[in-house]
Structure 1
Amino acid sequence: MRKLKNNELERLNVEEFKEAEKTPLIIVLDNIRSLNNIGSVFRTADAFLIEKIYLCGITATPPHKDIHKTALGATESVAWEYVEDTVSLVEKLKQDGVVTVAIEQAENATMLNDFQIESGKKYAVIFGNEVKGVKQKVVSSVDKVIEIPQYGTKHSLNISVSTGVVVWDLFAKLKTQSKQN
């Protein structure tokens, strides 16, 4: 078995990415401190054709060398927008018919592996600060809360890892659903 070279991977260029049909997922970053984490989220969003990223509160915005270091150009392909207040954004998304979902450990949260996608819906997944998580005001305003099951001694995963886990799971569920319709 031989590893493929980058030019053999048949990836989209930036213009093709912008024109491609997007996965009906939006990522919302609520007060993310680490620029490397932000860049990693952009790269994950690019990999799964995510519709848009909203950067909220203290979350830094491109262009920035530390975001670029991990995004590797994904800030040029993935649509993004800065919105200061996450709760206001959640309310707007809900008015637009988007199902809003905080990724958090909370009472009555649905475990990610048990979460079912509703046909024809678009989802916005909200990831919180590396230390404090998603703000309680945001958790109180969303439609649903999903928790990533964890079985070890630690209480949380890194934000970029959490994004990868959740986006992959929802992407797979959306693709399975679209094949059934």
Structure 2
Amino acid sequence: MDSPKGPTEWAEGRHGVGPWEGPWPDDPRFDPTLLAEGDRRNVVDAYRYWSLEAIRAELDTRRHPFHVAIENFENDMNIGTVVRTANAFLAEAVHIVGRRRWNRRGAMVTDRYQHIIHHDTVGDLVAWARGRGLAVVAIDNTPGSVPLETATLPERCVLVFGQEGPGITGDTAAAASMTCSIAQFGSTRSINAGVAAGIAMHAWIRQHGDLSRAW
């Protein structure tokens, strides 16, 4: 039996449009190749046939004033998921601290639309953030942390996540203006870093996002 069609990218034919029908529009945002061949990318309908550059430029007019950072000192495999989720919530940028190499497969091509900034050390990230008036908020279940469910997140901030397993480094904990934990009720002591990032970004959206601007 054929699988039912749906709105996600997990089955062929579930998204996309064919070649443009009728006279071509003269809107400079449209890509001639996409108009001729169709647009099968995983983008919302409002961006169909738009060039990559046009989509990025439009997103830049609406980005939220929060950033996301993830430590990558041991080649964390969750970075692609973090990038994809940051794109969904329209974060200003994703910061990768440590190794520059990361597995882009999990990003599902969203890294093309998301600003990504590399920092060699936590100190470099903190200096960058403070120079722009951004609060550093660590997300980790450590003693003395504030429950994310009741915390008031700064509107202009960098949400920093540690690697799977070790969590945030001591340098990040020392530099953070606040550390928030995510409530857990099962047997495991931690949750996936990519999942934690999504929870924290959504918490920011619930507090500061303008839902009238959502698709």
Structure-1 residue corresponding to 2:30: none
* Higher relative helix content: 1
Q: Which runs of 5+ in 2 are unaligned?
A: 8-13, 18-43
Structure-1 residue corresponding to 2:55: 16
Distance in 2 separating the partners of 1:172 and 1:59: 31
CA 1:59–1:154 in structure 2 vs 1: closer, same or farther (change >3 Å)? Answer: farther
CA 1:177–1:115 in structure 2 vs 1: closer, same or farther (change >3 Å)? Answer: farther
Structure-2 residue corresponding to 1:50: 91
The structure with the largest alpha-carbon Rg is: 2
Letter in 2 for 1:10: D
Which secondary structure does the structure 1 equivalent of 2:194 belong to?
helix
Query: Which whole-Å deviations, capped at 9, do the CAs of 1:113-172 have from their partners, x for residues lacking one?
Result: 101134xx3110001111211101111111110101111111111111111111112112
Match 1:83 to one of 105, 119, 123: 119
Does 2:149 match 1:108?
A: no
Tell whether the 8 Å contact from 1:91 to 1:141 is kept in structure 2 after alignment. Answer: no
Tell whether the 8 Å contact from 1:18 to 1:78 is kept in structure 2 after alignment. Answer: no
Per-residue deviation, 1:176: 5.5
CA 1:167–1:160 in structure 2 vs 1: closer, same or farther (change >3 Å)? Answer: same
Per-residue deviation, 1:34: 5.0
CA 1:6–1:173 in structure 2 vs 1: closer, same or farther (change >3 Å)? Answer: farther
Query: Which whole-Å deviations, capped at 9, do the CAs of 1:89-115 have from their partners, x for residues lacking one?
Result: 113312321011000122321111101
- Any runs of at least 4 consecutive aligned residues in structure 1 with deviations exceeding 6 A, and if so which? none
CA 1:59–1:163 in structure 2 vs 1: closer, same or farther (change >3 Å)? Answer: farther
Which secondary structure does the structure 2 equivalent of 1:160 belong to?
helix
Distance in 2 separating the partners of 1:40 and 1:26: 15
Identical-residue share of aligned pairs (%):
20
TM-score by length of 2: 0.71
Root mean square deviation of aligned Cα:
2.4
